[in-house]
Amino acid sequence: MSTIPPTIARSWLLLPADKSERFDAAADSEMDVVVLDVEDGCRQSEKERARREVRQWLEAGNHAWVRINDVRSPEWEKDLMALGHCPGLDGVMLAKTENPEHVSLTAARLAPDTPIVALVESADGLAAATEIAKTDQVVRLAFGIGDYRRDTGIGSSQIALAYTRSQFVVSSRVARVAPPIDGPTISNDTQVLMDAAEHAVEMGMTGKLCLRVDQAPYINEVLSPSAADVSWAGSVIDELGPGGERCRDGADLPRLARAQKIAHLAQAYAVVR
């Protein structure tokens, strides 16, 4: 099970919660975060069984996040009653978040300090993204591309969604939370997946939702500092000093800050120089 904190987690697997036979393999995979999905990933007729099996698995000493139904769904209260205080619950991904109140109502029904990722999937949610991100217990925003496109009629190309992705990044920065998590890539083509992840990085996003376990190594590679980045960072820190004691002028400070960030991520992701 990954020990990478959610604020810098790269790969987020959405795993249907009615497939309990796949829980162990997912937990043992290269995914940074496993999210057991009792919302859209789970058939309506199977939700009650799924909640029961998720709870049993967590109570057996396992850990995972859970994606719960949205606040307006009758399943939301059932999800929280069954799982909100369950041992092993690392965090909650809240579907179809559209305003800060959705987060506050959810947080009030969770164990104290349970982290929340707000999944924004509509124009209303995007318009309120900054205020949502400022809400207590929100650690990141995530982009629900499918429902967002259905709500807005926007296409799937990079240019069509560029404004939306930028809004996620800006809102996260204004709220002083970690950069956002991009939506999933449906294609089975590895190059398409890596291109999408590289585009997410270019847009300022630092995580990506995944639909299959085998996507983890590709996502993690693209969203991690490269060996060249790590080598550069090490050289800068050696030159300027870990605390900037050898900085010559103000121009050195941004370079050192970037190098320190890369070095921190490299250590967390076990990327070698």
Provide the residue-wise pLDDT of the chain in tens; the chain has 273 residues.
678 999 999 999 999 999 999 999 999 999 999 999 999 999 999 999 999 999 999 999 999 999 999 999 999 999 999 999 999 999 999 999 999 999 999 999 999 999 999 999 999 999 999 999 999 999 999 999 999 999 999 999 999 999 999 999 999 999 999 999 999 999 999 999 999 999 999 999 999 999 999 999 999 999 999 999 999 999 999 998 888 889 888 888 999 999 999 999 999 998 876
Statement to judge: residues 101 and 113 lie in one domain: yes
Q: Are residues 8 and 32 in the same domain?
A: yes
C-alpha distance from residue 82 to each of 88, 120, 254, 270 (Å): 13, 24, 47, 36
**Domain-embedded: residue 71:** yes
Whether 124 and 241 share a structural domain: no
Q: Give me the residue label for tokens 């967002």.
A: 148
How far, in Å, CA of 149 to CA of 70, rounded? 18
Amino acid in the structure at residue 56: Q
Residue 98's CATH number: 3.20.20.60
Residues 137, 113 contacting (CB under 8 angstroms): yes
- For residues 3 and 208, give the distance between their C-alpha atoms in angstroms, rounded to a whole number: 17
Question: Is residue 12 located within the same domain as residue 93?
Answer: yes
Binding residue numbers for Mg(2+)? 121, 147
**Strands (E) located in 86-156:** 89-94, 116-120, 138-143
Together in a domain, 240 and 146:
no
Determine contact, residues 210/14, Cβ cutoff 8 Å: yes
Tally the domains of the chain.
Answer: 2
DSSP letter, residue 213: G
Report how far residue 25's alpha carbon sits from residue 43's, in angstroms, rounded to the nearest whole number: 21
Give me the pLDDT at residue 153, please: 98
Give this prediction's pTM. 0.94
Q: Which residues are annotated as a binding site?
A: 67, 121, 147
- For residues 209 and 67, give the distance between their C-alpha atoms in angstroms, rounded to a whole number: 12
What whole-number distance in Å separates Cα of residue 37 and Cα of residue 50? 9
All residues at 6 or more sequence positions from 184 whose CB lies less than 8 Å from its CB, including other chains:
14, 145, 208, 209, 210, 211
d(CA 258, CA 235): 12
What pLDDT was estimated at residue 32? 97
Both 250 and 156 in a single domain? no
Domain co-membership, 262 together with 185: no
Give me 50's structure tokens: 């799924």
Task: Print the domain residue range for 248.
Answer: 225-267
Residue 3: what pLDDT? Answer: 86
16, 138: one domain = yes
Q: Residues at the annotated binding site for substrate?
A: 67, 121
The answer on 193 and 79 residing in a single domain is yes
273 within some domain: no
- pLDDT score of 174: 98
- Clarify whether residues 123 and 232 are in a common domain: no
Cite the beta strand spans of 61-125 per DSSP E.
64-68, 89-94, 116-120
The pLDDT of residue 251 is 83
Q: What amino acid occupies position 190?
A: T
Domain membership flag for residue 62: yes
Angstrom distance (rounded) from CA 30 to CA 1:
8
One domain for residues 127 and 184: yes
| Strands 116-120 and 11-16, bridge-based pairing | unpaired
Question: Which of these three, 186, 205, 221, is where a domain ends?
Answer: 221
- C-alpha span between 257 and 243 (Å, rounded): 10
Give the C-alpha separation, 195 to 243, whole Å: 36
